[in-house]
Structure formats: structure tokens, C-alpha cells
Amino acid sequence: MMTPDQTIQILIVDDNPLNLKLLETTLAKDGYQVLSAGNGPAARKMAVEEKPDLILLDIKMPGEDGFQVIRQLKENSATATIPVIFLSGVSDMDTKLYGFELGAVDYIIKPFHPREVLARVRLHLKLSIATNSLIASQANKLKQITEAQTSMLVTPEMCPRAQFGVYYSALNEAGGDFYEVRPISDDIFGYFVADFSGHDIKTSYLTASVKALLQQNSAPVYQAHESMQMINDVLVEILPEGKYLTACYARLNRKTRQMTVVNAGHPPGIFVPSEGSAACIDLKGDILGIFKDVYFGSHTIDVNPGDRFYMYSDGLIESSEKKIVWSAGSNKLAAACEKARSIPIQEAPKQIARQLFKENVTIDDDIVLLGIEV
């Protein structure tokens, strides 16, 4: 990416040696590093290798003309963003418009005056510098948001007594899926997986709000469904219009060996007993953040040491490319979880995700897979 303080390279493409020499001299005197090519294939090869900051491209050339050159440059990700200025003796409007349609940023008519070329070059280099600076600034801000969001996610090393493992992958910088693991007492732990509608920057800030609500409403005095109800009551008041989230909340009491699962419009959890087959815990429930009067499906399971429970977001089991929905996807996930019995819980979610995506499937959503071991 070009910055204001680096050497600026300009590639000139013209089959006329006199034009090449005139442009080389003009641009070199103004401090630019000049590259030159006499035909289209050589120009494209040089553009890929050198990544010039701007290309001055003749249209009428033997063999591959300028239109063919720019079309291939724009189809190549390595050269697609390089600004191209056409140089041509053809001045009719249709030709100009066609050049702009192909992606040219400007069109200079031959015979040209060197000072005009310099003025056009300066203008488009300034625009390119400004655009690249804006892109870098936006990317940096999104990177900071991503880092801030990721830093809020608890890791197995941070809470070893919770005995969990997690696989987390955000499709965009501001992910809509997230999870939380909270110690409620010495023997009781809360596990939460949620999926916000939308994946914009606003969502990343709402994630922090939900985590704070979990902290405030997950005390031992509250039952699991009561915690979800109180969280919903607040979210109804604070979420912007059109925003909501689905969630699954599991509360494990390691002393009494009971796990309560509460579902708020989320995909079914997967229970893998140490002895027995994996099964989906499919509970009906309303989503969070839309209505005051809601119902959350709740189920309490008697568990034993070695039993596992997996919570996840729908991006793990749904695929728009292969038209896979919850019902088929959750069964496939249950089989993968069963195969991962012998893998330590800290590594199991990652291995399960790899198994599910070993085929060439386009991932089109955020992914969370949280595994809990009793």
C-alpha cells in the first residue's frame, strides 16, 4: 500500500518508444520511479511483480490492446486496486465511457502535454493515498474492536475448574456470536452461548452489555430460568429496534451433579454421557430482547463424571451453500461429538469443528462451539 513518504512507482505501457521516452523523462524529473513496458503481457507481468502505484496505459497496441490489459488487471486480485489512466488518440465518447466502465480512473487524449499528464498523475496519486489511508484507518479500528471483543472471551486457562473447551471463529471483525463462562460459586458454573442478529460494530458493544447482565444476574439465589428472564427484561429496554439474540444457558452444579439447560430460541444442545449415546437436548424457547412476556424451555439433567455437554451457534451446523439446516446439522454434530469422547475437553471443540468442516464448505456465519465436561 502506498504511503505519502515512500518512493512512488508509475508503470507506463505504450508500444511507441517516443511516447515512452517522453513520459519517462517527464515523470522522472518530478521524482517518480518509472517502469515501462511496450506491450500488454509484459505490462501485466510487471504489474504483478512490482505492484506500481499507478499505470499509464495506451489503448491501441498490437496484439493485446489496452482494454484487454485493464480487464485482466482488474480480474487479478494482486493488481485490481492499482489506478489506471488511459492514454489514447481516440476521443469519441463511447470509447471513453467504455474505458471508465472497465475501471479506468481517467482518460488523457493524445497528443498530450507533459504538464497535463503530471497534473492528472498527481491528482490520482493523492486520491489513492487518501483512499489507502482511510482503508488502513478503518481496518485498524476494526482490528481494535476485534481484539477488544476477543479479549472479553474467557479461556479454559483462565477458569480451569469450569472444565471446558471452546472453538470460536468470527466471520467479520465485529462478530455476532459470543460465549461466556462464569463461576457462580465454588461448585456451580454458568455457561452461555448466544447469537446476536446482525454482525455490525454496534453488536460488539452490545456483547459487553450482555456479559455484564450475566454477571449481575447469575447469583446462586437465582434459578437458571430466572437469570434469563431478568436478562431479557433489561434487553427489551436497551436493545435497538430489530436487534435480538438467541441463547443457550447451562448451569452445572458439580456438587449435586445436576445440570440445568435453558433455551432461548437457540439450536439444541448435545449431551454426551460417559456411558451411552449422544443425544440432542431440544428445548423450545422464545428469543431474548423482543418481548417482556416470554417462555424459555428448561430441562435438568442428572450428570456423572465424564459426561459432556456441547453448546454452539447455528453457524456450526447450518450451510446456505449445501442447504443444511438445524435438524440435519445437529445430528451430524452429535455424531462428531461422540467421536471426540477420548479427546481432552480443552481440545475437543476444535477437533469437532475441523471434522465438520473437513469438506470444502463455505463458512458464511460466526461459529462458537463450547464443550463442558462434568
C-alpha 12/C-alpha 33 separation (Å) is 11
Examine the pLDDT at 26 and tell me if it is beyond 70: yes
How sure is the predictor about 316, in pLDDT bands with cuts at 50, 70 and 90? confident
pLDDT in tens, 219-258: 888 899 999 999 999 998 888 888 899 999 999 999 999 9
**Residue 164 in contact with residue 372, Cβ under 8 Å?**
yes
Decide yes or no: CATH 3.40.50.720 for domain 152-373.
Answer: no
Going from N- to C-terminal start, the domains of the chain cover 9-144, 152-373
pLDDT band at 311 (very low <50, low <70, confident <90, very high): very high
What pLDDT is stored for residue 173 in this prediction? Answer: 47
The arithmetic mean of pLDDT across residues 113-139, rounded, is 82
User: Is the confidence at residue 207, as pLDDT, over 90?
Assistant: no
Domain 9-144 and domain 152-373, same fold? Reply is: no
| pLDDT on residue 191 | 97
Can you spell out the DSSP letters for 67-121? Answer: HHHHHHHHHSTTTTTS-EEEEES---HHHHHHHHHTT-SEEEESS--HHHHHHHH
Average pLDDT of the chain to the nearest whole number: 85
CATH of domain 9-144: 3.40.50.2300
In the predicted structure, residue 285 carries a pLDDT above the cut 70: yes
Look at the pTM and tell me if it is higher than 0.75: no
